[in-house]
Structures are given as structure tokens and as C-alpha cells.
Amino acid sequence: MNKLHWKLGLILGLLILSVWLLYPTVEWYTKPADERAKLEAVRERPKRMLNLGLDLRGGTHMLLELDVAKLDKKETLNDAMARAIEIIRNRIDQYGVGETPISRQGERWIAVDLPGISNTEEAENLIGKTALLEFRLVNTSPEAEKVLAKVSDLGESPFDKGGKLLPDVAKLMPKGTALFRATSNSEDTRTKYYVLESSVGITGAYLENARVSTDDQFGYPNISFAFNKDGGKIFERYTGENVGKYLAIVLDGVVHSAPVIKTRIGGGSGEISGTFTMEEARNLAIVLRAGALPAPVNIIEKRVVGPDLGEDSIKKGLTASIIGFLLVIFFMMIYYKAGGFVADIALGLNFILLIAAMSYFSATLTLPGIAGMILSLAMAIDANVLILERMREELALSKPIAMLIPTAYDKAWSAILDSNVTTWIAAIFLFQFGSGPVKGFAVTLTIGLLVGMFTSVFITRAIYEFWLTSNPKELSV
């Protein structure tokens, strides 16, 4: 009896936990769409909840290509791809789009889904930035001044279409220097240029953190950064050796500011100022925190899925699921009577526990994921059918009810285990070698099979054991 109490207590505890885990998801999706949009804009979204995929919610799909020609020769393609995927994932996670499907396609392509984001320009800027932060000294020699004067007289870009310096400018460049463009100023439409030393004092590889701040005088957004311990030492030594010189802060080949080094800068921190909007500064801080991509990425395919299509998919999916669910419930109750009713209870608990588990892991539900969920529910019902058929066989042999039920479970267990294990193996291969929606199907199916075995074997048996305490005279299956 104590063992039965333990089983019933465990089932009740899991049910209460599931309801608690499902509450944020239910509360979120019962809110009006405009209210959800406002909360998402200020990043007030539950952390542990079931997310809807691109095909259900709408958003942006992108296919990116890593520019392998610009990879460091020391880095292999596989390592670069793995690092690029991780950096892109970090950027998107910090932006507030959780559990984004990101997968490698072929040798150098990366597929990214951004549910709920239809602003493709914003998505491109967030994902595609190389975010190479460099600190270089400004060359203020008379030769450099001649270069800047020549560039000013040109009245056009000193670079050709291929990005190389024009011959008239290149021959004036001091040895060991390079020409860089500065960020444009809204008050001055002319493009400003700097002659910088070719050698880099320190890069953003040593960055530990970057965040948005505002200046005390006008409240303009800036980006405050901090180096790690090693970077702090290098930065302090570098600034100490170049007091009185101008230090250019270069991001992705563009000079954002070039302050004078008044004294040795200790503490390993600084600030990037420029003509940022608050949104630009926030996104740039995200990119810097996540790190620089190993090479530029080019967007070779871009597709926007409208939210109306997603809502239509949800309605059709829900309708099909409800109809199928009800048909199974009625069939089990009609064909297996009381035994079918017990199986239906287990099926309902299976659905609740499955959604709760996916909510806990903040999983992303897609149309293939719904298919995996339905398949796992079907496997759970199949297990109950095997048990009930074994009960009928034992009942035909006129065995006592108290012996009949455990015998039926013992005999059906091997078949249930075999069918689930073979399906698990298939799901593992789908997850390992599949991509995007196929992986979503595999993950949902795997979780569903685990929950299904628990509900179809453990929970139904506990219900029968509880029923046996009333000393029943017959079994209705």
C-alpha cells in the first residue's frame, strides 16, 4: 500500500508541476497580439515557455554563406563554421529571440530562422556584422596631412570599385599606414578620413563586456567596453607608451572616434562614441559581446513568412489534432470499455506532461514538431492497446484479476520497449543528420516517447493498482 501511495503521490506531484510550468505559456498566448508585441519590444517575455516556430508564428528565414576566402589560414572550415554558428546564436539569444533554429547546410551555408522578426534590415545588421574592433594610432605626420589634402581635393571616394586606393593617393601614403573612412556626421555630410598605422595595438578579441551608456552632457548613446585581464594589461601598456597621440577606435573598418591619449589608461575599459541611435548602440553592443565572426557572411537567400500564414497553420493544426484526439478517445472507450477509459486518462496526462516538458526547455514548436507530438501520442496509445489485448488474453484463461493485471503488463513490456527503442534510434539519426524542421520533429518525438512510456505503463498500472484495492469482481476490457 505504501508503494501505491508513493506512485500516486508522484503522479499528482508531476501533474501539479506540469500545470505550474504551463501557466506562463497559456497566459502569454491568451494575451491579445498587440499586447504581446508591446511586451516583446521591451523584452518582457517569460523565460520558460513554449515558443512558436517560423511556420507557426511568422518571421524571417535567411540562408547565409561564410566567405571562406577571407578565413584565417590557421583555421579549418569546420572550426570556422562551428564558431560562426555559435556567435550568430549568441547574438540572437542576447537580442531576445530565444531557441532560434540555426543549422549548417552543406559546406559553408548556415540557415537561420527568426520567428516574430519581419524587419529584415534589422535582422541582417544583427547577424551579418563582422564586428572586428581594432585600436590603431593616428598618423599625424606631414605626409599624412598631404594624403588627406589630396583626398579632400578629389571630391569623391579615394577607393575604386574593388576597394583599392586610387594610384594618386596610394603613392602619397606614408610607409606602414592605411587610409580609413570615419563615421558620417549628420551636421557635416562630407566623408572624413584618417591615416592610421597598419599595426594594430589591440583587438576586440580581448573584450569581456560591452554595454550601452549615455554621455553626461547631451545624453547621446555610447558603447562602454571592458577588456579581460590580459587585454587590460595590453591596453594599459599600449596607451602608456603612446601618451599624447591620437588613438582611433575602428569597428569593421570604420573609425568611430579618435580621442587623444592624455594618460596611461588602466582598468581595461573605455567607450566608443559616435552618431548612434539607441537601437544601433544596443545592437552593436550585442555584436561586440558575442564576438567577431571568423569571416564575413553573405546573405544569399531571404524569405519573410507573414504572421497570417502562421495563424492559419495553427488553426488547421489544432483542428486536425482535436478531431484526431477525440476520435481516438471515443474508439478506445467503445472498443475497450473501462480499460479504454483508463488509456484515455493516460493519453490526456501524456499531452499535458509533454507540453509542460517542452515549455520547461523553452522548445520551439513547428509544424513538423506537431507531427512528432502526434506520432508520440499514437505510440503511447499503441502501448496501451498491447496491454489491453494481453489483459483480454489472460481474461480468456480465467485468471484472477489480481494476477491478470501484473501478468498482462509483464508480457506486453518487451513489445512496448522494442517498438519505442527502434523509434528512438530513428529519431537519433534524424536529429544527427537532419536539419531545421527535421531536427524539430526528432526532438519532439524523443521527448514524446519518454513521456509516452511513463504514462502508458507507469500511470495506467498505478490506476489499476488503486482500483484493485476495492476488490473488484470483474474487469471490463
Q: List the CATH code of the domain at 59-129+299-305.
A: 3.30.70.3400
78 burial (CB, 10 Å; 0-12 / 13-18 / 19+) is exposed
| Runs of H (alpha helix) within 196-306 | 229-241, 278-290
Query: What's the average model confidence in pLDDT over 397-417?
Result: 89
What is d(CA 401, CA 206) in angstroms, rounded to the nearest whole number?
71
- What Cα–Cα distance (Å) separates residue 19 from each residue in 10, 414, 463? 14, 32, 20
Q: What is the pLDDT of residues 213-230, one digit of tens each?
A: 877 666 778 778 788 888
For the chain, give the number of residues. Answer: 477
Strand pairing class (254-257; 177-182): parallel
Which residue in the block uniquely carries the three cell numbers 534590415?
121
Residue of 35, 15, 95 whose CA lies nearest to 59: 95
CATH of the domain spanning 133-285, picked from 3.30.565.10, 1.10.1490.10, 3.40.50.150, 3.30.1360.200 = 3.30.1360.200
List phi, psi (to 5°) of 305.
-105, 120
Whether residue 460 is predicted with pLDDT greater than 90 in this model: the reply is: yes
Res 434: pLDDT: 72
Q: What is the pLDDT of residues 336-384, one digit of tens each?
A: 999 999 999 999 999 999 999 988 887 778 778 888 888 888 889 999 9
Angle, in degrees to the nearest 10, between helices 437-453 and 401-433: 160
Whether residue 162 is predicted with pLDDT greater than 90 in this model: the reply is: no
Neighbours of 108 (CB within 10 A): 19
What is d(CA 170, CA 172) in angstroms, rounded to the nearest whole number?
5
Whether residue 17 is predicted with pLDDT greater than 90 in this model: the reply is: yes
Residue, of 186 and 26, whose pLDDT is higher: 26
433 burial (CB, 10 Å; 0-12 / 13-18 / 19+) is exposed
Whether residue 464 is predicted with pLDDT greater than 60 in this model: the reply is: yes
Whether residue 466 is predicted with pLDDT greater than 80 in this model: the reply is: yes
User: If you average pLDDT over every residue of the chain, what do you get?
Assistant: 82
Q: What is the pLDDT of residues 244-289, one digit of tens each?
A: 899 888 877 888 778 888 788 777 777 766 666 777 777 677 666 6
List phi, psi (to 5°) of 122.
-65, -40
Residue, of 223 and 147, whose pLDDT is higher: 147
Can you give 53-96 as a three-state secondary structure string? CHHHHCEEEEEEEECHHHCCCCCCHHHHHHHHHHHHHHHHHHHC
**Residue 456 corresponds to which amino acid?**
S
Domain regions of the chain by residue span: 2-31+307-468, 59-129+299-305, 133-285
Residue 137 CB partners (closer than 8 Å, separation 6+): 196, 197, 201, 242, 245, 246, 247, 248
Name the strand (E) or helix (H) holding 110.
Answer: strand 109-115
Contacts 24+ apart (CB under 8 A), 445-448: 445/372, 445/373, 445/375, 445/376, 447/354, 447/357, 447/358, 447/363, 447/376, 448/350, 448/354, 448/372, 448/373, 448/375, 448/376, 448/377, 448/379, 448/380
> Residue 276 in contact with residue 221, Cβ under 8 Å?
yes
Whether residue 455 is predicted with pLDDT greater than 90 in this model: the reply is: yes
> Residue 158 in contact with residue 151, Cβ under 8 Å?
yes
Give whichever of 140-154, 155-169, 202-216 has the largest mean pLDDT: 140-154
CATH fourth-level superfamily of 2-31+307-468: Multidrug efflux transporter AcrB transmembrane domain (1.20.1640.10)
List phi, psi (to 5°) of 304.
-105, 125
186 pLDDT band, cuts 50/70/90, is very low
Is this model's pTM higher than 0.85 or not? no
> Residue 381 in contact with residue 328, Cβ under 8 Å?
yes
List phi, psi (to 5°) of 405.
-65, -55
Q: What is the pLDDT of residues 297-332, one digit of tens each?
A: 888 888 877 665 556 766 777 787 788 888 989 999
Which of helix, strand or coil describes residue 185?
A: strand
Instruction: Estimate the share of the chain in helix, then strand, then coil, as percent rounded to the nearest 5.
Output: 55, 20, 25
